[in-house]
Amino acid sequence: MGQPAAETSSFMTDFLLKSGGVAIIDGGLATELERYGADLNDPLWSAKCLLTSPHLIRAVHLDYLEAGADIIITASYQATIQGFEAKGFSSDESESLLRKSVEIAFAASIGSYGAYLADGSEYSGNYGHAITLENLKDFHRRRVQILAESGADLIAFETIPNKVEAQAYVELLEEEDIKIPAWLSFNSKDGVNVVSGDSLFDCASIAESCKNVVAVGINCTPPRFIHGLILSIKKVTTKPILIYPNSGESYDGKRKEWVQNTGISDKDFVSYVNKWCEIGAALVGGCCRTTPNTIRAIYRTLSSRSPALSS
């Protein structure tokens, strides 16, 4: 569903106006799929359900819509052609599964190269010296093409751990003449830089330089860091700022499990929301370990400050 450049640039502005000034992004997908009974112990993670139980993905998406979400992100975060082929699917079958994710949702998720590796490197951004800008573009190129042509309203490049992958994304958007808008969302573990140690200023500047990127922000990051990160991004960009933190829980990338009792409650999470919006956040939601209850609480909080959201 290609759009002329002028329409792409106004897409997010128009969307935010219709949403009452602040749009609500959905919350964590994997945790909710597991609550419905899905077994995600697999390199494909939540994308495994595209193969085995797409009805569960639809159920979770509906839960978030009912909770008040304006934007539903697809289950394609860890869905790669390479990952599906490793499961024995042909190239055509792999591409079909990617398209299937967009039949169910709205914003086409693209996770990092580290998410495909499923070794925790999406939380470090350390891919080794052998992985170059060109390697990353080659890895992501076909997936970007497919999702851009699949009917999604936008592409969500998520949990970007380093500067080189951000550069790969914006170059792909330009080289492939992608017509639909995109957002770039980084993650941080210190509240200052992205997880690789690369400067957030530099990363956000890359997003700012690309006309197809209609929003830039932070996801999968503890809520306590978000305030400072919004202020840092504001110094670089004129684009809308999006934030969808995790629950604040710690993830053990080697053991592939969340550390218990390290997060915050929905009440505490939502207590940050008005302040985030006051200092510049225009799209707010949740990432890992947040739930429809979190999004419902965000919706109620924002409804109380915006008549358009409560109408």
Q: Which residues are annotated as a binding site for Zn(2+)?
A: 220, 287-288
Alpha-helical segments (H) within the chain: 5-18, 30-35, 48-52, 54-67, 81-86, 91-104, 113-117, 133-148, 163-175, 200-208, 226-234, 266-271, 273-278, 292-305, 307-310
CA distances from 99 to 18, 81, 87 (A): 27, 11, 17
In the 8-state DSSP scheme, what is residue 218?
Answer: E
Indicate the SS3 state at residue 154.
Answer: strand
Binding residue ranges: 220, 287-288
Pairwise CA distance, residues 215 & 207, whole Å = 8
Report CA-CA distances (Å) from 125 to 42, 108, 149, 160, 239.
21, 22, 28, 8, 24
Helix (H, G, I), strand (E, B) or coil at 159: strand
Please answer whether residues 263 and 248 qualify as being in contact, where contact means their C-beta atoms are separated by less than 8 angstroms. yes
